[in-house]
Structure 1
Amino acid sequence: MSEQEFDATLVTVIVLFCASGTGIYGSLTEGMSGDASILISKSILDFFTAAIFAANLGFVVSMIAIPQVLIFVLLYLLAGVIYPLTTATMIADFKAAGGVLMLATGFHMVQIKMFPTADMIPAMIVVMPLSWLWINFVLPIL
Structure 2
Amino acid sequence: MFPLTHLLIHPAALTLWDKTSGTWINVATILGGTLIGLVLTESLPDRMQRIITQGLGLLTLFLGVTLAGSLLKVKAGQIDGVIIGLLAIVLGGLLGEWWRIETQLQKVGNWLRDLVKGGGNFTEGFVAASLLFCIGPLAILGSLNNGLSGDHALLSIKSAMDGLASIALSSSYGIGVGFSSIAILLYQGGLSLCAGFLAQVLPDPANAPQVLLTSGVGGLMIMGLGLNLLKITQLSIAAFLPALLLAPVFCTIAQRLG
Q: TM-score range by the shorter chain?
A: 0.7 to 0.9
The answer to whether structure 1 residue 79 and structure 2 residue 199 are counterparts is no
| C-alpha separation in 1, matches of 2:145 and 2:243 | 19
The Cα of 1:34 is off from its aligned counterpart by: 4.9
Of residues 7, 18, 23 in structure 1, which corresponds to 2:139?
23
Of residues 156, 179, 183 in structure 2, which corresponds to 1:63?
179
Residue identity in the other structure for 2:241:
I
- C-alpha contact 1:22 1:42 (8 A) present in aligned 2: yes
Residue identity in the other structure for 2:199:
Y
Task: State the structure with more CA Rg.
Answer: 2
The answer to whether structure 1 residue 121 and structure 2 residue 241 are counterparts is yes
1:49 is aligned to 165
The Cα of 1:95 is off from its aligned counterpart by: 1.7
- C-alpha contact 1:105 1:117 (8 A) present in aligned 2: yes
Encode CA deviations 1:57-111: one digit per residue, 9 max, x unaligned: 2222211111211110101112221222226212211221222221121122112
The answer to whether structure 1 residue 131 and structure 2 residue 251 are counterparts is yes
Give the direction of change, closer, same or farther, for the CA distance of 1:101–1:34 in structure 2 (3 Å limit). farther
2:223 is aligned to 103
- C-alpha contact 1:30 1:76 (8 A) present in aligned 2: yes
Give the direction of change, closer, same or farther, for the CA distance of 1:73–1:116 in structure 2 (3 Å limit). same
The answer to whether structure 1 residue 12 and structure 2 residue 121 are counterparts is no
Gaps of 5+ in 1: none
Gaps of 5+ in 2: 1-119
The Cα of 1:125 is off from its aligned counterpart by: 2.0
Give the direction of change, closer, same or farther, for the CA distance of 1:33–1:98 in structure 2 (3 Å limit). farther
| C-alpha separation in 2, matches of 1:25 and 1:96 | 14
| C-alpha separation in 2, matches of 1:112 and 1:29 | 36
Give the direction of change, closer, same or farther, for the CA distance of 1:23–1:115 in structure 2 (3 Å limit). same
| C-alpha separation in 2, matches of 1:30 and 1:126 | 25
Structure with greater contact order relative to length (CA < 8 Å, sep ≥ 6): 2
Give the direction of change, closer, same or farther, for the CA distance of 1:116–1:130 in structure 2 (3 Å limit). same
| C-alpha separation in 1, matches of 2:176 and 2:150 | 31
| C-alpha separation in 2, matches of 1:100 and 1:33 | 30
Encode CA deviations 1:13-70: one digit per residue, 9 max, x unaligned: 2211233443233213433565433211110011111112122222222111112111
CA RMSD of aligned residues (A): 2.2
Q: TM-score, normalised by structure 1?
A: 0.79
- The sequence identity of aligned pairs, in percent, is 24
The Cα of 1:119 is off from its aligned counterpart by: 0.7
Give the direction of change, closer, same or farther, for the CA distance of 1:99–1:22 in structure 2 (3 Å limit). farther
Q: TM-score, normalised by structure 2?
A: 0.47
